A and B are shown apart, each in its own frame.
Chain A
Amino acid sequence: MASRREFLQASIVALALPITAQAGLSTAAAASDSALRVIPLYKAIFDERFPASVAFGAEAHSLGLSAYSIRGDITDLWFHDLDAQWKKKPVAVAGLTEQGPLFCLERLAWDHGMRVVYRGDHRYLPSDAIEHTLTGPEGALRQAALLENDGWAARVAAILARLPEGPSAPAKIAVRGRAKAPAHAEPEDLISWVIAPVAGARIMRQA
């Protein structure tokens, strides 16, 4: 019998949206981006309780990333995976979650020379609107306009899968898009994020 996590992985494959090739990268953008190094993502975290987050995970999976599901609690992910991994070698993780998981992972990552290098606040508004406020590498934010369209969560995954590496002063942009209001018991805002190693940042805990 499949474990719960294996079942969810199967669900993600089934959900794989036909966005991959059109994930928002215009031909011109793709051409210029091909010269950039992108941050290799170890895992993409999604919260299986929230459809937008599941869509993020599905797209991440279809892009070849390892998608990991949580239900708001990152304890298992951190204790059984990231803690040991980060002590061996800090690796980047991305997610579309509520604030709690990001809050915990950000602080745990500090001791491993890692920082939040990208953050997106996605806030549902009345009348089926959603506001996306993104802070991160300018190169990534060029794609922000794509979030105005349907399937914003999957597009976020595509943006994060190609987040440029290297130091750059973070830029900030806000765009509005269309999205159905969240169902009852879903959060009114989700946060997309990438935590990655930063050159020169102190490492306090090692294997």
Chain B
Amino acid sequence: MRIPPGVSEKDFSEALRQFEEAVGKDWVFTSDEDVAMYRDSYSPFWGEPDELVASAAVAPDGVEQVQKVVRIANTFKIPIYAISTGKNLGYGGSAPAYSGSVVLDLKRMNRILEVNEKNAYCLVEPGVSYFDLYRYIQEKGIKLWVDVPDPGWGSPVGNSLDRGGGYLLPQFRNHFDSHCGMEVVLANGEVLRTGMGALPGAKTWQEYKSGFGPWIDGIFSQSNFGVVTKMGFWMCPAPDSYLAGTVTVPRYNDLSPLIDILGYLENTGCTNGMPFFGSPLLARGPLGQGGPVPDAELTALLDREGGPDPDAMDAYAAKKDIPHWSCTVSFYGGPKANQGNWEFAQEKFSAIPGAKFSFGGAYKLPLTPEVQAKFNLPQFGIPSLQMFSIGARSETNPTPGEGHIWFSPIIPRTGEAVFEANRVFRAAAKELGLPVPTFSLPTCYWERAFIFLFGFPITHDVETNKKNRAAFRKMVAIAAEHGWGEYRTAPAHQRAVMDTYSFNNHALLRFHETLKDAVDPNGILSAGRYGIWPKHLREDEKV
């Protein structure tokens, strides 16, 4: 049995015995086989000595048991690492950031405490998955949608605390932004409720976010200042209808006005569905699907020193008679409103000479199963696992890996930034021996910024993983040099990413550490998560 670092075997044995008293013998896991369930399936250190692994796991069934476990951990200074459903693959999964920690598995806390249809919110425990919430809504005929990530087997609590995103209307896509109120067990075992929840008997805990005084919810996201045991979320009332349309624009430099006009339409509420960029010329579909390998002429154009020449790209596009860019916009609402907004959007996009439009259909909601098959289900609040069928061995993916981690920098919402990011990342990929993307288009989870998503493959080959880890960190550094910060990353790279947020001698990290020392002096909660290490591990430079 593995012992957490810095803990004696005697103390660990006693702590395990007390954990068993607190949660029941059946819910403390120490066998190698059970603890192996908590390995990160997408670990970039798979099979290496530095792979982050748990020593044991404890699964409480309610907040009172969480409090007991935390108090015991504090007594014996056992590092614990909270997970909800443990499906954060691509960003760390269920393995702790500090190897040897005891995983605090909240999966048994899977109660849906309230779904309020009239005011469109829910209150859930951490073990509730998106599938669980969707099934609950369907079985009870509640006319609400939940904004789901893709894949949908994670949990609203887990995904939002890692600041993941989804596919519905903008006010729901940023999953942390759409939460309202949380309950947290602190390192000393006390229970805290945020926002209006701090008022006993509050009637608006899931309706008014900030409560009174400093709004502290954010400090419990991407951090290790407490164990969240309940969270409220605003949900989307089931829309009446859906309409989609696509605009294509012919020239290379048309991307800039395309993005600017889209920004206007989104920020004024005209388009409220998630937009998708594509490139018919560069064979990237609206969901980022890749096409055939570009021909030699196109590759040469893209590889030009200093980036593609717009005139040369336009000549190539004219020869192929294929437009450079596309943007699929969508609308949720009443059918007349959707049609009117689509007409207005076309009017605005028509400021770009040569813009053409294609109608993607107007549908009454909910979609029939036959129509659903044409769409990406998360755009309709339906969780899916279809993503796992992508990545299989194919002509364009001859060497599929064992998973991936996401390199996911945030860039400005401008055409200039998209062009610059492509030039920089293309050059970096070539230098680092990585697959060179033809042209990467941003994803539009967030209202006011773009995100680029690049999957770094994980393999079970040590040398390949080592090379990819080094390349990942180099890409993070290159992105930071250009003012593009990572928004989220796996524990293997959290320190490296946090190091790039270095304004004023790492003032932000120093602030995090001040908070950490105050609220968790023994450093028992999720040590190392998002680069926040407890005092005793920082000072000794043990990590």
Which residues of chain A have a CB within 8 Å of any CB of chain B?
71-75, 78-79, 83, 98-101, 103-104, 107-108, 110-111, 184-185, 187-189, 201-202, 204-205
Task: Establish whether residues B153 and A108, one from each chain, have CB atoms under 8 Å apart when the complex forms.
Answer: yes
Closest A residue to B37 by CB, please name it: A110
Chain A residues, Cβ within 8 Å of B385: 73-75, 78, 104
Q: Which of B374-401 contact A (CB under 8 A)?
A: 383-386, 388-395, 400
In the complex the two chains form, is B131's CB within 8 Å of A204's CB? no
A76 nearest CB across to chain B (Å): 9
Complex interface residues of chain B between 65 and 115 (CB less than 8 A to chain A)? 87, 105, 107-108, 110
A187-B153 contact, Cβ under 8 Å, with A73-B384, A74-B385, A202-B26: no
Q: Which residues of B contact A185 (CB under 8 A)?
A: 394-395
Interchain residue pairs A-B with the least CB separation, the first 4:
A72-B389, A100-B388, A73-B386, A75-B385
Give the CA-CA distance A72 to B34 in the complex, in Å. Answer: 29
- Tell me which of A98, A111, A188 contacts B389 (CB under 8 A): A98
Collect the chain B residues with CB atoms within 8 Å of residue A75's CB: 383-386
Q: Which of B117-148 contact A (CB under 8 A)?
A: 131, 135
| B contacts with A, residue count (CB < 8 A) | 28
Contact A79 B110 (CB under 8 A): no
Cα of A83 to Cα of B136 in the assembled complex, Å = 13
**A202 to chain B: which residues have CB within 8 Å?**
26, 29, 34
CB distance from B432 to the nearest CB of A (A): 26
Instruction: Please tell me if B59 contacts chain A, counting CB pairs below 8 Å.
Output: yes
Tell me which of A71, A73, A78, A205 contacts B107 (CB under 8 A).
A205
Q: How far is the CB of B375 from chain A (nearest CB, A)?
A: 13
Partner of A189 from B29, B390, B393 at Cβ < 8 Å: B393
Q: Are B41 and A107 in contact (CB under 8 A)?
A: yes
With the chains together, A188 CA to B391 CA distance in Å?
Answer: 13
User: Do A101 and B34 touch (CB < 8 A)?
Assistant: no
- State whether B108 touches A101 (Cβ < 8 A): no
Q: How far is the CA of A191 from the CA of B135 in the complex (A)?
A: 30
Give chain B residues whose Cβ lies under 8 Å from the Cβ of A99. 392, 400
> What CA separation (Å) do A78 and B384 show in the bound complex?
10
A104 touches B388 (CB 8 A): yes
Apart from A74-B385, A79-B383, A107-B41: 5 A-B pairs, beta carbons within 8 A: A73-B384, A101-B389, A107-B153, A204-B107, A205-B110
Tell me how many residue pairs across A and B have CB atoms closer than 8 Å: 63
CA of A100 to CA of B131, assembled, Å: 18
> Shortest Cβ distance from B395 into chain A, in angstroms?
8
> For residues 24 through 46 of chain B, which have their beta carbon under 8 Å from a beta carbon of chain A?
26, 29, 33-34, 37, 41
Interface, chain B (partner A; CB < 8 A): 26, 29, 33-34, 37, 41, 59, 87, 105, 107-108, 110, 131, 135, 153, 383-386, 388-395, 400
Query: Which residues of A have CB within 8 Å of B384?
Result: 73, 75
CA A100 to CA B29, docked complex, whole Å: 28
Chain B residues in 8 Å Cβ range of A74: 385, 388
Identify whether the interface residues of B are mostly helix, strand, loop, or mixed.
loop
Given the complex, which residues of A lie within 8 Å of B105, measured CB to CB?
204
In the complex, how many angstroms separate the beta carbon of A97 from the nearest chain B beta carbon?
A: 9
- Which chain B residue shows the least CB distance to A106? B41
CB distance B37 to A100 under 8 Å?
no
Q: How far is the CA of A104 from the CA of B227 in the complex (A)?
A: 27
B19 to chain A, nearest CB (A): 15
Q: Which residues of A contact B388 (CB under 8 A)?
A: 73-74, 100-101, 103-104
CA A169 to CA B59, docked complex, whole Å: 28
B391 contacts across to A, CB distance below 8 A: 100
Chain A residues with CB below 8 A from B394, complex form: 185, 187
* Contact present for A98 and B392 (CB under 8 Å): yes
User: How far apart sit A87 and B383, CA to CA, in the bound complex (Å)?
Assistant: 19
Whether A111 contacts B392 by the Cβ 8 Å rule is no
Please give the distance in Å from A162's CB to the nearest CB on chain B: 26
Shortest CB distance B60–A (Å): 12
Which residues of A have CB within 8 Å of B29?
A: 202
Q: Which chain B residue lies CB-closest to A83? A: B131
A153 to chain B, nearest CB (A): 17
A189 to chain B: which residues have CB within 8 Å? 393
B27 CB to closest chain A CB, in angstroms?
A: 8
**Which residues of the partner chain A approach B108 to less than 8 Å between Cβ atoms?**
204
Contact B389 A100 (CB under 8 A): yes
**Chain B residues within an 8 Å CB radius of A71:** 389
| Contacting residues, chain A, for B41 (C-beta < 8 A) | 103, 107
Residues of B within 8 A of A103 (CB): 41, 388
What would 28 A/B residue contacts be, using CB atoms closer than 8 Å? A72-B386, A72-B392, A73-B384, A73-B385, A73-B386, A73-B389, A75-B383, A78-B385, A79-B131, A79-B383, A83-B131, A83-B135, A98-B389, A99-B400, A100-B388, A100-B391, A101-B388, A101-B389, A103-B41, A104-B388, A107-B87, A107-B153, A110-B37, A111-B107, A184-B395, A187-B392, A204-B105, A204-B108
Q: Which residue of A is nearest B85, CB measured?
A: A111
Q: How many angstroms from the CA of A73 to the CA of B388 in the assembled complex?
A: 7
In the bound complex, CA of A118 to CA of B400 (Å): 22
Most chain A Cβ neighbours within 10 Å, of B59, B391, B392: B392
Chain A residues in 8 Å Cβ range of B107: 111, 204-205
In the bound complex, CA of A49 to CA of B263 (Å): 41
